Structure 1
């Protein structure tokens, strides 16, 4: 085998939906204020009894069922998250146990909002290199555990959920080489740090970076896949802000692409946002099987990663 491909996607979100009007009862905000700035209308929040592991396992089981595989057939589990509470065992090991995987390599990736494309690139490279044959790649977050519910600039953003993909070896590569990197001098702009351990960000700095640097990086990712933005069937960015997502597709010339806008109903789910959004697009039949899809994440670190896959 000379490449890898995504066989299926799956996702899970908590049942509890919180509207902007609900948040207006907690902090000084309004539906108009939130929508005008970030485009969010609702978000799903986990209950106290719903853990990161629970959401990740449910998304993984959904992806496995769609792939027609069992957990026992998986030999690598890669979980992208920045909201796992425990240091050890890692989340990948816990998810592996939950889905019945035998003895997989179990790896956590913490690059926050760009976690899923980082994790997907890692699985792709391991399969290409012969270190794995069937991988489970998951993005999952319970950001509500780390939200400052008195800070209207950040608490209105967060959502909880998980998205997963099954990646297998293939004769032809259907996952492009990754375009990834970081801006270490901007690492402080998105953070969950001691002693408060609450989510904080410098939104304007991230917005300026994303709207100026991201278009060129997105085109680079397309070039590595041997396509132009006009060839894209879908664009799935990290679902941080609708005011970043919509202009980017226009700037790079992705004129034929479906643009994921899951941020409107799910909020910012960090590492979960890309697989969650794409899984929903596929479930609704909005992206054709085989069409090229740009995945690009950015945020905490400040880290970024982007690649093009063929839609399963």
Structure 2
């Protein structure tokens, strides 16, 4: 079977910046309270007429352009999202139409905050099976549509945005997208919720999520490296779900990383963008040349479900 690799990345963020001071006008909170508990300073909020599809198409278009491929080369489009209001046609199908991708298989995938890495693994498996040669994988969220702006424990966390990866098959013996480690603990799924037929609102048991993420997930992240045949000390960067800076710091401390490893902390300026957070953070690291081409990077996301998915990839 052929190998797979990430060929190009792209991202999109709304222009509107919401600061902690802005949030203090909406709910009883302040900058110090938010920074101490979450590490977040700003987040990007989409305008009312900017949809998940708009952001996904923008990020996907940038990844497609950076890859040098033509729209007709793409055989699969997956959009990972839990906040899209459109059900049919899928966001993926709408993105394909906007980017003039003809005839691709298009579908949305909802695995909460673990959606992008789940979609990335699913696409890699599809390409290895020979069903397509190139795939466009996008994580896109408009979490501001599902935010309870009266709940200071959650509204301070969330932001909007999209990140995309163009993945391709390769004849190289080197595997650019490593084996996935994924799973779920549905018995504790209610710890992160986005439920309701009309105007659903994001809610979570923050303490339960923190304990789970910091105590149980490091070993799973370690397993992703083991399956890829490398040590955590070989990693050039780690891009986890940008849930909360305190979770990121606690989780990565337990991975025995080398001092030079870059740890993505995009949550500070972008907030928690759910399924968009990993590709958004990765794309920005590469745009700033913080990770060299060819270097191993651990992608690891987790959240609603409770679910997780992670793999080591080669930086494009």
TM-score range, shorter chain: over 0.9
Measured after TM superposition, the shift of residue 254 of structure 1 is 1.4
- Three-state SS of the structure 2 residue aligned to 1:113 is coil
2:271 corresponds in structure 1 to 267
Distance between the aligned counterparts of 1:118 and 1:200, measured in 2? 22
Distance between the aligned counterparts of 1:290 and 1:23, measured in 2? 40
Q: Deviations over 1:3-60 (max 9, x none)?
A: 1000011000000000000000110000000010010000000000100000000000
Following superposition of structure 1 onto structure 2, how do residues 109-148 of structure 1 map, counting pairs within 5 Å? 109-148=109-148
Residue of 245, 250, 254 corresponding to 1:247: 250
Stretch moving more, 64-73 or 90-99: 64-73
Q: Deviations over 1:59-99 (max 9, x none)?
A: 00111111112322211001100011022111111111111
Per the normalisation by structure 1, the TM-score is 0.98
Residue of 283, 289, 298 corresponding to 1:285: 289
Distance between the aligned counterparts of 2:169 and 2:256, measured in 1? 31
Q: Which runs of 5+ in 1 are unaligned?
A: none
- Three-state SS of the structure 2 residue aligned to 1:301 is coil
2:200 corresponds in structure 1 to 197
Measured after TM superposition, the shift of residue 109 of structure 1 is 0.8
Measured after TM superposition, the shift of residue 2 of structure 1 is 1.9
1:164 corresponds in structure 2 to 164
Per the normalisation by structure 2, the TM-score is 0.97
- Three-state SS of the structure 1 residue aligned to 2:254 is helix
Measured after TM superposition, the shift of residue 300 of structure 1 is 0.6
State whether structure 2 residue 315 is matched by structure 1 residue 306.
Answer: no
Kindly tell me the number of residue pairs found equivalent between the two proteins. 312
Following superposition of structure 1 onto structure 2, how do residues 77-92 of structure 1 map, counting pairs within 5 Å? 77-92=77-92
State whether structure 2 residue 225 is matched by structure 1 residue 222.
Answer: yes
2:65 corresponds in structure 1 to 65
Following superposition of structure 1 onto structure 2, how do residues 41-52 of structure 1 map, counting pairs within 5 Å? 41-52=41-52
Distance between the aligned counterparts of 1:294 and 1:246, measured in 2? 15
Q: Which runs of 5+ in 2 are unaligned?
A: none
- Three-state SS of the structure 2 residue aligned to 1:268 is coil
Q: Deviations over 1:149-172 (max 9, x none)?
A: 111111111100000000000123
Q: Deviations over 1:222-280 (max 9, x none)?
A: 00100000000100000001111122222111123100000000000000000000000
